[in-house]
Amino acid sequence: MADPTFSGAPPSPADDKVGLVLQERYRIIRKLGEGGMGSVYEARHELIGKKVAVKTLNPAFAKDPGLVERFRREARAATAAGNAHIIDVTDLGTLPDGSPFLVMEYLEGTEFGDLLAREGALPVGRAVHILSQVCDALGAAHGKGIVHRDLKPENIYLIHLQGDPDFVKVLDFGISKMQEAKEGVKSLTQTGTALGTPHYMSPEQAQGLATTDHRADIYALGVILYYALSGTVPFDADSYAALVLKIFQEVPKPLVELRSDIPPELDALVQRCLAKKPEDRFASVQELERALRPFRDLTGKATMVEFAPTDPPPAPGAASPAAAARTVAGSHTDPKAVGPSTGSNTAGNATGITLPETSRRGL
């Protein structure tokens, strides 16, 4: 469930929570977004006047202990990681109807997914700068035994901070996996249950393997970097099953064949992130971040390669995956066309709600 903790959302229809004061200090101002799992509101701390975001869980799901635990886990995971590039969750409480809520910092900026949809492939240096900050956030999380498991552009938010217009905040640790059993944290992942967003899931995560670890996040970083540099995801298909089959079996088209200004070394770096076997990827996000450093200063507009069609023409109104991969300057392949994995129960729907069209933020 990604966090629409942002400014600029249009007013939503009247909501019975607007005007409520939670825990005698958080006054609900307006709804920012809603979906099947819950809603996010702009709120104000009554005592100090600070603007915050309040995320609520749909009362219907508040009866499911597993979903409530996932919701609360988001607060624990973000707090435990304690990094400037991870959204700050400051409080946790219960609504009058018994459902839980989180209080988070209110972000004013741009969703990375919206930026890519608007601008297409980014200059190498800018893409690397953004992903390096995500590495920093994940390094803190992984150091606490926390695997995000739902990294995607919609869960990366860019704000203007400390003179940087692309300062990263990583959102939504709602399906994160806390691996430190010694701290008494019970795992909510069952073998065979896939959680995440399909285009960004590693092969082992798509299988729902209980052994999935921090290297699944490294795979997702590879997908995001591929997307940021090319305007298209490595694999796409018309159905979840077909997409997962590609993730298991196919090799991504080299970036150097899609974009002429990509250094071969950077292409190899991305391909390593996307290795089928976890042991063939970077061992840590710190190692990945170090490997990215030489490419930070590369500037210039993306120069895409245009390919002549070689596949049979698609049916009227349809586009083949191969055709979608032939990215030219200014084009963009939206990887949200294939629905998220739902696993074996409702917990898998945690990634599947969206905001009004003008913001295109997921909850």
CA proximity to 115, closest of 168, 162, 53: 168
Q: Is 150 a catalytic residue?
A: yes
Active-site option among 3, 114, 136, 150: 150
The CA distance from 203 to 173, in Å, is 20
CA 244, CA 268: separation in Å to the nearest integer? 23
Q: Nearest CA to 234 among 250, 212, 218? A: 250
DSSP notation for 240-270:
HHHHHHHHHH--PPPGGGTBTT--HHHHHHH
**Are the CB atoms for 216 and 204 separated by under 8 Å?**
yes
Is residue 292 within 8 A of residue 125, CB to CB? The reply is no
Which run of H or of E encompasses 218? Answer: helix 215-230
**How many residues would you count in the chain?**
363
DSSP states of 271-322 as a string? HHHT-SSGGGS-S-HHHHHHHHGGGTT--S---BPP----SPPPPTT---HH
**Cα dist from 49 to 8, 27, 46, 52, 109, whole Å:** 19, 10, 5, 9, 20
The token pair that represents 238 in the structure block? 């018309």
Instruction: Cite the active site residues.
Output: 150
